[in-house]
Structure 1
Amino acid sequence: MAHQEIYQAALKLHHQGKPTDLMAISNYLADRGRLESVGGMAKLSQLLNRTVSAVNIDRYVDLIMDKYLRRKIIEAGNNIVNFGYDTTLELETLLDCSQKEIFAISQQKIRSDTEHNSEIAAAVFNQLEKKTPLYSTGIKELDRLMVGFEPGNMTILAGRPSMGKSAISLYLALHVAFQHQLPVVIFSLEMTKKQLEYRLWSLMSKLDCYKHLNLTPIKSDRLRQYQGSFCSLTEAEMNSIISIADLAAQLPLYMNENRGISVTNIASECRKIQAREGKLGLVVVDYLQQMVTTNSTDNRSYELGDVGRGLYQLAGELKVPILALSQVSRGVEGRNNKRPMMSDLSQSGILEMVADNIIFAYRDEYYNQNTEKLGVLELILAKARHGATGMAEVLFDKSSGLIRSFQEFASVENSYS
C-alpha cells in the first residue's frame, strides 16, 4: 500500500506538470499527512537509491507486463473453472462470461473503470489534438446533426415496414466499410446473406465511387428474377456483376443470417472479428423485434428491453458503434401525420432510454401516391445525446438502396447535361 500511495503521488504531480523528485513527493505527502504512514523520508530515500537505470526501461516494462498478464491469466482460469462448476448458469451465459475473461486479457488493458480527472483530461486533450475522427454516415445532411457514428454509441433506426430500413442500414454499412476501410458486420435476422449480397451489388452498381468503371446499373429484383429463370441478363449487366462481385469480395464486410441469434451470440461473433481484424467500424443488427422469442406482450416488452440494454453495453465494451433497426407501432397508421415519434418505438420505452441516437425513416409516397415528395426519404433524428435533433431530407432510390443529397443529385445531373 505504501508503494501504491507513493506512486499515486508521483502520478498526480506529473499530470499537474510538476516535478516528481524526492523533495516534491515528500512535500506532497507531508502536506496531506501521509508521509510517515508510507515510511517517511527514509523510505523515499531508500526507494530512490534502489532505482534501476533507465537505460533498459523498455525491458523492465516488458517484464512487469509479462508477470502481470500471467497473473491475470491464472485469475481468469480460476474464474472459468468456477463458472464451469456453477450449474445455475446457462451454458450460453457460461461461454459468454468465459470469453469475456480471456478477451479482457487479450486487450492488455491495465486500467480501472474509475479514473482521476487528471488522467481523463490528458487523454481527452490528446484525442482532441489528434482529431480522432468519428465515422461519417455518408449522408451529409445527417452528419450535420449527429456528426457521425461514435465508437461506444448505439443508434436506433426505426420505421414502419417497407420504409427502407434495411436498405438504409446497408448503405451506411457500405460507406463505413469502403470510405473508412473499417470492418463492418451485419446481423440479418430478416434476410439471408444471398439476399443481402444481391442488394449490395445493386447499390454498388450505382455508387459514384465506382463511376469510373462504367458499370451498368443493376436492380436487385432482376438478380432474383434471373435466378428463377424469369428473365435473362444482358452482356453489359453480366460484365458489371463480375466486376462488382470482385470489388465486393475485397470489402471488410461480414454477414450473419442466424435468425435465432442472441445478444450473447452477437457479442461472441464481434469479439472474434475484432480479435482477427484489430478493430470494428460498425455493427448492424436487423432487427431488434426478431430477437424477441416470447409471445406475451408484457414479456416481449421486458425481453426487448433486455436486448436493447445488452447491445448498448456491448457497444461500450467493444468501443464500436452499433446500429440497431427497430419497428414502430401500428399507432402511426391511425394519425393524419404518419411520421413516427419517440412514443411509437415498438413495445419498449427502454429503447428510448438506452439509445444515444434515434432516427426515424419516413417516406411520404408510401402513404400518399400524389405527394410532391416522390423519391424523398426523411431521416428524422428524434434523439441525439451528443448532437442536435432535426430532419435530414435526402433522395432515395428504393430499387437499389442508393441515397443522395439534393446537392449531389444536382451536380450529377449537371455533369451529364
Structure 2
Amino acid sequence: MKTENIGFKNELSFVCALLTGVAESSQVYPRVTAEMLTSRELALIYKGIIELFNKGKAMDYTLLEHEMRALDHELYAEMNGLNYVGDGLLSVVDDVHVTTYADLIVEEYQRNSLRLLAMEISGKCGSRDIPVEQILQLANTKLEEIAGMGVNSTSTRQISEIGQEVVAHHTRLLENGGTSVGYSTGLKGMDNIMGGFMRGEVAIASALTSHGKTALSLHMAVQIALQNIPVYIISLEMSMEQLYGRILMSLSNVSPENLRMHGLTETEIAVAKSLNETTLRELPIYIDYIPSARPEDIRA
C-alpha cells in the first residue's frame, strides 16, 4: 500500500465505510464520483461498489471483486483485490462518518480543480491573441462547474413521484387501522392535535422548570419505542440512572421515594429485574448523558 497522506487516508476511510455494508451508496453517490479519488486502487473499489449499487445488489465482497475484475483485471491483480484495504477495514467498522469523508474528498477535488483552472487561465492570459472576454467566459463557466461539484441533486423530485409516496403511506395507514399520520406519541389527545411525530420535523416541548417536560418526553419515548421504532435520548442534566428510574416507574408501581431515597423493597427489585430481562431488554431506547454537549457533539 502506498505511503499514507491525509488525502489518501480520507479516501481509504471513505471506501472502507462503504465496505462495511452499513452505509448505503445513495448517501454519497452520485455526489462523489470515482474520478474524485486520487488513488487508482481505491477508485477501482469505489467503481465496483457503484456497479453493485446500480444493479440493486447488497454489499458482498465476492460480487464486488467480480465487478472489479470486470472493470480493470490488470489493476485488480496488481492490488490483490480487496486485500489492498485489509488494514483500513480494521480501523473503520461503521458508516458514522461516511458523509464527512465524502465532504473532504469533494473539497480536495474542488481545490485541485481550482489549481488547474488557475494554471490554465494564467497560460491564456499570457497570450495576446486570446480576447479577455473569452478568458473571462471560460473562467466563469469553469468556476460554475467547480462550484457544482459534489452537489447532491438526488433530493430533486418530480411532483407525481412525491404524490405516489404520500398516497402509498396513507393507504398503509388505512389498511393497518392507524389513527395518526406520524408516529403515535401514545397520548390520544396529543395525536389528535399534532398527528403524531412526523419524519423530518423537529418538535419542541416548552414549559417552566418542573412542569413535566422530561416526564412527558420519556412517556412518548417509551410509547414510540414500544412500536419498535428506535429512540435516542440525549440528556444534558439528568444522569442515565435517573432517566432509567423515570422509565421504570412509568412501566411499574415502583415507589419514587424508595427508588430515590429509601431503597427498593425486595418485591420492587424483583419487578425491576423482570422488566430489565423482558420489556426493557427488547425496547430500542438508547440513552446518552452529555452534560456539556455542544451541537457538534449531538450531531456526531
Shorter-chain TM-score: which interval? 0.3 to 0.5
Higher relative strand content: 1
* TM-score, structure 1 normalization: 0.35
